[in-house]
Amino acid sequence: MWKLLKFCIIAAIILALAWWVAALPGSVTADAGAYRIITPAPVALLLLLAVVGLLIVFLRVLGGLRRAPGQFAGWRSGRRQHAGELALQRGLVAVAAGDAAGARSAAAKARTLLGETAFVQWLSAEAARLSGEGEQTRLAFEKLTQSKEMKFLGHQGLLQESLKGGRVDEAARQAEAAEAAYPGSAWTRGQRLALAVREQHYAAALRLTQEPHERAALAVAAAQMAETPKLALNFAKQAVKAEPASPVALAALARALHGMGKERAARKTLLHGWKIAPHRLLAAAWLAPDATPLERAQAAAQLSAAKPGHMESELLLGETALAAKLTGEARRHAGAALKAGNTDGRAEAILAALEGKPAPAIAPGWRCTACRAQAAEWACACPSCGKLGTLIPAHPDSALMTTENG
């Protein structure tokens, strides 16, 4: 409705103007030398309007022609930018796919189109790394560390190269720089942790993780390497705090307490440990190394009383009885351990020794929760996969014994 009204109004105005122009009185006379042109005023006005319109069109075309080279250059640079970005995208995919040749050619193309941008430098570095060109990789990543936005990736690349070349000190420096470039990165923390463990700097490693099983393992390792008994006790306490039921941590605490001369506390810790998680590590800390075999058998009886009938209690009693030549006791406890489900060969070893037979092979006492590898000795990091705090007793709590504790 409104549109129709607008149309009518405009049409009316144009019509009125045309009328007015047509009705203009008089004429326009132009003299040029011997010629004289006389034209009515409405025609002269229309001619003037036509000349002005043509002039405007002419000026516009002229301006467009003058701007054309700039616009052409802009169009060309846009195309280059687009082609360069495509090359970068292809390079990124080639790096992810491990295609060294593809990454290298994409990097070269991107450099031609975009120049030495930080992204191009990163792609060149990754292409060099995939090609196994050590020195070129190092130089490219070093260049990247100059970029404000991408310096983290530069230090990350240099760290990995240093580790590959076995330059641990350099790797540690790069890890620090990576942390400064991008504080709080989980990747950097993991690298620093691995480096600290590799260098056996367990106290430093302890500050880099909050995982209880990792903390417990690192604190035990730190306690074992501590320079003073007081420091050892401090670390052992941290281990037990992280994993209160870990026999490794409890044994470490008992040893640290013993090192400080706190015998009562040490014995209390071991009795408590045996009650909640009987393990041969606790027995080893409990039995005085300089005691006679008979004294050790008596001490074993005291400890095993904390968990009567348990497989580990029976094994401890059997092994100490055997050493003390209490053959009947040894046989009885070995049989009880077998009944309780002992399958690692320790009970059979007692029986074999009693019968003068060769000892059977004892199964490794530890297994990794991450890679399932077995290990004969406990270690802070799994010897197979290197994960921290993943070694647990290979034969966890078995069924309780039916026989009485001796």
Q: What residues line the site for Zn ion (CB under 5 A)? A: 368, 370-371, 373, 382, 384-385
Write out 356-371 in H/E/C secondary structure.
CCCCCCCCCCEEECCC
User: Residue 368 CB, nearest distance to Zn ion (Å)?
Assistant: 3
**Cβ nearer to Zn ion, comparing 215 with 310:** 215
**Cβ nearer to Zn ion, comparing 121 with 246:** 246
CB 83 within 8 A of CB 64: no
**Cβ nearer to Zn ion, comparing 352 with 363:** 363
Residues 6+ apart with CB under 8 A from 276: 245
b/e sequence 187-215, b meaning 16+ C-beta within 10 Å: ebeebbbbbbbeeebbbbbbebbeeebbb
CB 374 within 8 A of CB 344: no
- Calpha distance 113→82 (Å, rounded): 9
User: Residue 370 CB, nearest distance to Zn ion (Å)?
Assistant: 4
Write out 22-66 in H/E/C secondary structure.
HCCCCEEEEEECCEEEEEEHHHHHHHHHHHHHHHHHHHHHHHHHH
**Cβ nearer to Zn ion, comparing 284 with 373:** 373
**Please, which contacts does 286-291 make with residues 24 or more away whose CB atoms are closer than 8 Å?**
286/254, 287/320
- Calpha distance 271→294 (Å, rounded): 20
User: Residue 195 CB, nearest distance to Zn ion (Å)?
Assistant: 19
**Cβ nearer to Zn ion, comparing 197 with 368:** 368
**Cβ nearer to Zn ion, comparing 276 with 371:** 371
**Cβ nearer to Zn ion, comparing 363 with 371:** 371
User: Residue 214 CB, nearest distance to Zn ion (Å)?
Assistant: 13
Rounded to 10 deg, the angle between the 151-164 and 134-144 helix axes is 150
User: Residue 160 CB, nearest distance to Zn ion (Å)?
Assistant: 22
User: Residue 367 CB, nearest distance to Zn ion (Å)?
Assistant: 9
- Calpha distance 391→213 (Å, rounded): 10
User: Residue 375 CB, nearest distance to Zn ion (Å)?
Assistant: 8
User: Residue 236 CB, nearest distance to Zn ion (Å)?
Assistant: 24
User: Residue 394 CB, nearest distance to Zn ion (Å)?
Assistant: 13
CB 123 within 8 A of CB 91: yes
Strand partners, 38: 29
Q: Of 214, 239, 210, whose CA–CA distance to 226 is shortest?
A: 239
**Cβ nearer to Zn ion, comparing 150 with 371:** 371
**Cβ nearer to Zn ion, comparing 102 with 386:** 386
**Cβ nearer to Zn ion, comparing 213 with 258:** 213
Q: State the Rg of the chain over Cα.
A: 44
- Calpha distance 304→286 (Å, rounded): 11
* CA end-to-end distance (rounded Å), the chain: 109
User: Residue 305 CB, nearest distance to Zn ion (Å)?
Assistant: 35
